[in-house]
Amino acid sequence: MPGSPSGNVERSAALNFASNSLSKAQRVELISLTAFGLALRVFFALYSGYVEEDAYITFQFARNLAAGQGFVYNPGEAIYGSTTPLLTLLLAGWMALGGEPVLGARLLGLAGAAAYLSLTWAALVRLGVPRVGRVCAVGLLACAPRLAALDLAGMEQPLVLAFMAASAWAGLRGRWGWAGVWGGLLLWTRLDTGLWLALLGAAAIWQRRAAGGLRFAGAAAGIYLPWVVYASAVFGSPIPHTVTAKWAAYAHSGAVPIHTGWKPALDAFFLFRTTHPLLYISLALSAGLFVLAGWGAAALAGGLLFAAYGEAALGVERKLALVFAAAGGLAFWAGRRPWAAAVRWAALGWLALAFAGTAGFTLRTTAVTLREVQSVRHEASLKAVGLWLNRHTPLDARVLLEPLGYAGYYAQRVMLDEVGLVTPAVVALKRSGVTDTYEALDALRPDYVLLHCDDALRWAERDPQPENRLTRAFRLAAEINPLGFDPRDAETRGRNSCYQIWERYP
């Protein structure tokens, strides 16, 4: 409130930070929150060992790029199948120096997490948010289960959040040129974050009129333009091929007519069609705050909502996040008014319980679950599949499969993926009406086929001999089944780690 002790403290904090002078208490607060978040992530990574399946798709692109084969998944096939060019390039440089990709990706993730935690805190200080509110907001990012689980899992998520925070921080200081630089790097990291840049561009115009908007847009375009030129020249489009593949899948699921319109426009539409819907919600709320309270609150709210809720996958995580958000709301409310000490301590107590509960859930439940996923599905199953293919198949073997990450990386063979992410032939078949992998066997003519154990049984029973497309041309070569899954049993536990490798008859 203007004129209140709380308001004076807020203005004093903002002025101190504007002059790059932090008090000892502020430094302790910043270091403590950031260190807490980083320690939680390191412990999580060491305990669970978890690395995302899709991370190994990026690792494959980076390995081929480091080896001088270009930005490709299968050598000799220029496909824009990676949605994160910047992470791919950074990992390629790391691997060219002899670095191991998982360690490199985790170091980048750790740096990204440190950046978005500290920059969010800095933005809160500059906005004059009191200590209770800062601790709540940054603490939410520090120990949100999904963020702690995935920041060191090999994906681009922490870099995305770091560039979002950096662009917001630069804009908050009125440095719209630098905001555009970070925004351009954000596009290099993940193209569907263009909605965030649109919001910041509106904020630049709001704050500095046309001059701010032009500086922001010019810097962002200048940074991203080289990749647009490269992708257009090498791949034929600046839109990832993964979008085209998903377009074909959605078209045949009835989302849009198959034969409609101009392909680049449809690709652009499906780029946003496949974005997590909660991102739209966070940006819509941000736009409302932009109108009511100015761009700083809008950008901050959008980043926090996207980070905390946009990546949540489990219902229990969403519920926990809402409890934490309620605690944060009370903390902001109590921190901005001269309440009695008892009320403030009650708010801090609830906040402490929310911290403890969230961190406990992260370490005890999410980490334990993903440790089992890593051990059984990733290591004992998908990695084992890739190693078997590497040791028992010819170098020019063509493998049809769905899980492209671990298996494809360790096999080092030509991969035909069922979705079509790196296989234009699959997309072409879907566009022609052949959407079933079983029906595509004759057209694709793979040397090996990787199937879930119950899928193989279903395929074997689909058509009688000798018309059956699987058993007519393939024989069972190996089964990877670490949990002893029985495809004839109604119990489905173990299905996701049970695979059969079928090889074509000589």
Q: Does residue 33 belong to any structural domain of this protein?
A: no
Q: Does residue 410 belong to any structural domain of this protein?
A: yes
Containing H/E element for 197? Answer: helix 194-235
Q: Does residue 211 belong to any structural domain of this protein?
A: no
Q: Does residue 59 belong to any structural domain of this protein?
A: no
Say what the pLDDT of residue 488 is. Answer: 78
Q: Does residue 19 belong to any structural domain of this protein?
A: no
- 164-182: per-residue pLDDT in tens? 889 888 988 889 999 999 9
- 468-500: per-residue pLDDT in tens? 899 899 999 999 999 988 887 766 678 889 999
Query: Sorting pLDDT into bands at 50, 70 and 90, what band is 19?
Result: very low
Provide the 10 A C-beta neighbour count for residue 76: 9
**Beta strands 448-452 and 398-401: pairing type?**
parallel
Bridge partners of residue 401, in order along the sequence: 417
Q: CA–CA separation, 102 vs 55, rounded Å? A: 9
Q: Does residue 108 belong to any structural domain of this protein?
A: no
Q: CA–CA separation, 308 vs 147, rounded Å? A: 7
Q: Taking residues 280-294, what's their average pLDDT?
A: 42
Q: Does residue 205 belong to any structural domain of this protein?
A: no
Say what the pLDDT of residue 338 is. Answer: 60
Q: How many CA atoms lie within 13 A of 8 on its CB side?
A: 4
Query: Sorting pLDDT into bands at 50, 70 and 90, what band is 200?
Result: confident
> Which residue type occupies 222?
G
Higher pLDDT, 184 or 244: 184
Q: Please state, in angstroms and as integers, the Cα–Cα distance from residue 420 to each residue in 238, 245, 413, 427, following that order.
A: 18, 5, 16, 5
Q: Which residue has the tokens 């670095």?
A: 99
Higher pLDDT, 239 or 304: 239
Q: Does residue 481 belong to any structural domain of this protein?
A: yes
Is the pLDDT at 333 greater than 70? The verdict is: no
Number of domain units in the chain: 1
Which domain covers residue 405, as residue numbers?
Answer: 372-504
Say what the pLDDT of residue 351 is. Answer: 63
